[in-house]
Amino acid sequence: MSLLTTIPNIITSAVAVDANEDFTILWILLSGILVFFMQAGFTLVESGLTRAKNAGNIAMKNFMDISVGTISFWALGYGLMYGPKGSMGIFSVSEIWMNPGLGAHDVFFQTVFAATAATIVSGAIAGRTKYSTYIIFTLFLTAFIYPISGGWQWYGEGAWLANLGFVDFAGSSIVHSVGGWAALCAAWMVGPRIGKYTDGKVNAIPGSNLLLGTLGVFILWLGWFGFNGGSQLAWGGDDSIAASAVVMVTNIAAAAGALGALFTSWLYLGKPSLSQTLNGAIAGLVAITAGCGNMTMSGGFFAGLVGGIIVVFSIEFIEKKLKIDDAIGAASAHGVVGAWGTLVIGLWGVGLDNGSLLHSVDGISSFKQLGIQGIGVAAYGAWAVITSLIVLYVLKATIGLRVSKEDELKGLDMAEHGELAFNSDLNP
Would you state the pLDDT for residue 363?
Answer: 62
Count of domains for the chain:
1
Exposed/middle/buried for 428, CB within 10 Å: 0-12, 13-18, 19+?
A: exposed
Residue 415 Cα distances to 28, 49, 80, 271, angstroms: 40, 20, 37, 36
Supply φ then ψ for residue 422, to 5 degrees.
Answer: -120, 110
What is the C-alpha separation between 411 and 394, in angstroms, rounded?
25
The pTM of this model reads 0.91
Give residues with Cβ within 8 angstroms of 273, minimum separation 6. Answer: 261, 262, 265, 266
Q: Evaluate whether 280 touches 311 at the Cβ level (below 8 Å).
A: yes
Domain for residue 178, yes or no? yes
Q: Evaluate whether 126 touches 323 at the Cβ level (below 8 Å).
A: no
Q: Evaluate whether 361 touches 369 at the Cβ level (below 8 Å).
A: yes
Would you state the pLDDT for residue 260?
Answer: 98
First to last CA, the chain: 83
What is the C-alpha separation between 224 and 247, in angstroms, rounded?
8
Residue 20 Cα distances to 15, 60, 85, 235, angstroms: 9, 39, 29, 6
CB atoms within 10 A of CB 360: 18
Would you state the pLDDT for residue 200?
Answer: 84
Domain for residue 428, yes or no? no
Domain for residue 426, yes or no? no
Q: Evaluate whether 149 touches 380 at the Cβ level (below 8 Å).
A: yes
How would you write the pLDDT of the chain (428 residues) with one tens digit per residue? 444 444 444 334 444 446 678 899 999 999 999 999 999 999 999 999 999 999 999 999 999 999 999 999 998 999 889 876 553 344 545 566 666 566 899 999 999 999 999 999 999 999 999 999 999 999 999 999 999 999 999 998 889 999 999 999 999 999 999 999 999 999 999 999 999 999 889 999 999 999 999 999 999 999 999 999 999 999 998 999 999 999 999 999 999 999 999 999 999 889 999 999 999 999 999 999 999 999 999 999 999 999 999 999 999 999 999 999 999 999 999 999 999 999 999 999 987 555 554 345 556 676 889 999 999 999 999 999 999 999 999 999 999 999 999 999 999 999 999 999 987 654 44
CATH of the domain at 305: 1.10.3430.10
Residue ranges of alpha helices (H) inside 210-296 are 210-229, 238-269, 274-289
Would you state the pLDDT for residue 405?
Answer: 97
The domain of 387 spans 3-91+102-417
The closest of 424, 410, 206 to 327, measured between CA atoms, is: 206
Domain for residue 222, yes or no? yes
Would you state the pLDDT for residue 367?
Answer: 81
Domain for residue 337, yes or no? yes
